[in-house]
Amino acid sequence: VAHHRHMAMSDSPHPQPTTDALDGVRPVDRLLLDLEADPDHPGDLRLEVVPKLCRTDGRFYGGAALAASLAAMEAVTGRRALWATTQLVAPAPIGSTVRVGAEVVASGRTVDQVSVRGWVGDDLLFLAVGSAATESPDGIAGLGQRMPDVPVPDDCEPWRGPGDQAAALRGETLGGGDGPAVGHHLVTEHRDAPILSPSSDRPGHFALWARMGGDLASVRPVMTPAILGFVADMVPLAVTRACGVHGAGTSLDNSIRIGDVRDADWVLLDLDASVAAGGFGHGTVNVWSPDGSLLATGSQSARLFSIEDFLRRRDG
Amino acid sequence: VAHHRHMAMSDSPHPQPTTDALDGVRPVDRLLLDLEADPDHPGDLRLEVVPKLCRTDGRFYGGAALAASLAAMEAVTGRRALWATTQLVAPAPIGSTVRVGAEVVASGRTVDQVSVRGWVGDDLLFLAVGSAATESPDGIAGLGQRMPDVPVPDDCEPWRGPGDQAAALRGETLGGGDGPAVGHHLVTEHRDAPILSPSSDRPGHFALWARMGGDLASVRPVMTPAILGFVADMVPLAVTRACGVHGAGTSLDNSIRIGDVRDADWVLLDLDASVAAGGFGHGTVNVWSPDGSLLATGSQSARLFSIEDFLRRRDG
């Protein structure tokens, strides 16, 4: 019953501002992040770092920090999240309780500027800046990019990362192909979407179909800024790919700008590298609906490492 | 004499951490922003909103806020700025004194996470998050994009915006082609760089050559993260172009990620639109050196308006 209520409420185009922060969170975002009101800090939200909100190493996932930032911005303003950059300050282990507090630093006729902080106890976990906006139905609109040509999801094979990738980083063999027991892949599904007209000018460019899965399959096809932020956190893989390195990255931030949001079952993560130098790199992601609408565009910076370096350091 | 000392010190690959924040600012960045130590707040910097640091409407320029954020991050860490997102909270009129304070929120072996705040008196002007990093000479490096084909700067015509554009917004005719007396065009030069192989898939894509000019021509060819942030603030023009609208945008943030920085006289601003919906839009800029190195990549979100709407509101 609760579930049906959630789904019905999620049809509301905008969250509603209230004194209880949780009332302003979209129902599917509550389900995604298990958000609660923080009884110790009225107006703040809290969540627990549970397995679905972790990286495969058991620490809080950057995409979850971005999703929580976006949800908190919407709750405190009653407007749709427009963009957010979430700086990842510290790792948080599984089981931590994260307090999320949003502050409106400027409020205008159509747009609010917001900052969000995530804490574990007295320690700052993440710091976000961003805006939430009330869109104008006849406001300026347009599209500057085109979705790459890829096969439809039904014709694409499952993508075995990040579970397989993480296992490779740990030098483990997966038993039975189920992947690690901890990680956001518990609630997401990805398929490898081969780009049909690749360009040698973009050596990092690759694409994945993504959708919510596992216990969160029920939220489909609702798409929210928080869900987009949650699934889009794959950029460093494009950057190491462009560098010709079998590796990964430690994200320094997760940034997203929300475009023409509409419901979709699968979304295409169109990932690309910008540039890397001295062990640090930057890349982008466009998130498309199957009909070619650009739902969001994101970017990230990361400290990059090869799997060889990772294993060498681990093994001393 | 002072000027030569500045230029010599700017050859140092990294700023040096000191107790006096100003000592950690690159000399060319001091010249760019007229940065001083804030005598009332030890460790903080300050600057005055002078004409070169304004938009053509006489308010503090977003590119200057981003540049000040990057310079402050370098000063407080002694490391090279890697990325920054500067949220523009409030406008500041010409003549304001801006206090800039940076705080290291996490410090690691190779990278620091920093937040920066700009204030006018007790009012928050901007809020930035970002990182500064110590690059590894043999760290992972690579390039994921290719510079568009454009004529060399000597074969390109002067670009008359943003001065002409601003005059058009105000319904003015320029007298003698000198443009408005206030604006960052006082210290920058731009040339229209026609893209030789345009794609109909990217209707907002356009390019400009940019360099420091006027009283700041002497800093050439030194290139710093702050200079890159200063010149890169043109993204909303690509977004309105993609929307088929003769208009502009009010930036909500200025974001930049620093790549393979090297000295250059001219740099190419490779501007493109992502998506716009409901009157708000997002776009990107790649900043290239003439030899095809990607110095930086940036993005912005903005509230968009057409010139017709602007004039209609202004005229009641």
The predicted complex's ipTM stands at: 0.91
Residues in chain A within 8 Å Cβ distance of B259: 274-277, 282
For A158, other C-beta atoms within 10 Å of its C-beta total 10
List, for chain B, all residue ranges whose pLDDT scores fall below the cut of 70: 1-19, 161-180, 316
Residue B4: predicted pLDDT: 30
In Å, how far are A3, A32, A33, A102, B170 from A216, measured between CA atoms?
11, 7, 10, 25, 52
Contact yes or no for B35/B102 (Cβ under 8 A): no
Q: For strands B253-258 and B267-277, give the pairing.
A: unpaired
Burial label for A291, CB within 10 Å (0-12, 13-18, 19+), is exposed
Q: DSSP assignment, residue B307?
A: H
Contact with chain B for residue A232, Cβ under 8 A? no
In Å, how far are B45, B60, B99 from B41, measured between CA atoms?
8, 21, 9
In Å, how far are A26, B95, B221, B223 from B210, measured between CA atoms?
44, 26, 12, 12
Contact yes or no for B278/A137 (Cβ under 8 A): yes
Residues in chain A within 8 Å Cβ distance of B239: 142, 144
The CA dihedral of B179, B184, B185, B186, to the nearest 10 degrees, is 80
Task: Please name the member of B89, B255, B306 whose beta carbon is closest to the beta carbon of A105.
Answer: B89
Q: Is B245 helix (H, G, I), strand (E, B) or coil?
A: coil
Tell if the CB–CB gap between A274 and B282 is shorter than 8 Å. Answer: no
Tell if the CB–CB gap between A282 and B301 is shorter than 8 Å. Answer: no
Contact yes or no for B265/B221 (Cβ under 8 A): yes
Q: DSSP assignment, residue A238?
A: H
Task: Please name the member of B89, B144, B245 whose beta carbon is closest to the beta carbon of A106.
Answer: B89
Tell if the CB–CB gap between A277 and B124 is shorter than 8 Å. Answer: no
Q: Is B78 helix (H, G, I), strand (E, B) or coil?
A: coil
CA distance A246 to chain B (A): 11
Helix runs in B181-283, H state only: 225-231, 235-242
Of A235, A230, A195, give the one whose Cα is nearest residue A210.
A230
Searching chain A, which residue's CA lies closest to the CA of residue B273? A144
Contact yes or no for B101/A300 (Cβ under 8 A): no
Q: Percentages helix, strand, coil for chain B, rounded to the nearest 5? A: 25, 35, 40
Contact yes or no for B54/B94 (Cβ under 8 A): yes
Residue B307: predicted pLDDT: 86
CA distance A149 to chain B (A): 13
Question: How many whole angstroms from its chain centre is CA B184?
Answer: 10
Residue B179: predicted pLDDT: 59
The residues in A 182-211 lying below 8 A from B, measured between CB atoms, are 201-205
Residues in chain A within 8 Å Cβ distance of B272: 144-145
Residue A77: predicted pLDDT: 97
- Which DSSP string corresponds to A84-95? EEEEE-S--BTT
For B314, other C-beta atoms within 10 Å of its C-beta total 10
Q: For strands A280-288 and B80-88, give the pairing.
A: unpaired
What amino acid is encoded at A141 in this protein?
A: A
| Residue carrying structure tokens 């590119």 | B63
Helix (H) or strand (E) holding A285: strand A280-288
Half-sphere exposure of B35 (CA within 13 A, CB side): 32
What's phi and psi for A116, nearest 5 deg? -130, 140
Most A CBs within 10 Å, among B66, B117, B129, B195, to test the A interface: B129
Per-residue pLDDT 10s for chain A (316 aa) are: 233 323 333 344 455 444 588 999 999 999 999 999 999 999 999 999 999 999 988 999 999 999 999 999 999 999 999 999 999 999 999 999 999 999 999 999 999 999 999 999 999 999 999 999 999 999 999 999 999 999 999 999 999 765 455 555 554 443 344 556 899 989 999 999 999 999 999 999 999 999 999 999 999 999 999 999 999 999 999 999 999 998 889 999 999 999 999 999 999 999 999 999 999 999 999 999 999 999 999 999 999 999 888 888 777 6
Most B CBs within 10 Å, among A206, A274, A313, to test the B interface: A274
The residues in B 14-73 lying below 8 A from A, measured between CB atoms, are none
Contact with chain A for residue B127, Cβ under 8 A? yes
For A222, other C-beta atoms within 10 Å of its C-beta total 19
Q: For strands B142-143 and B206-212, give the pairing.
A: unpaired
Q: DSSP assignment, residue A151?
A: -
Tell if the CB–CB gap between A128 and B124 is shorter than 8 Å. Answer: no
- Give the tokens for residue B199: 């794609």
First to last CA, chain A: 53
Q: For strands B267-277 and B206-212, give the pairing.
A: antiparallel
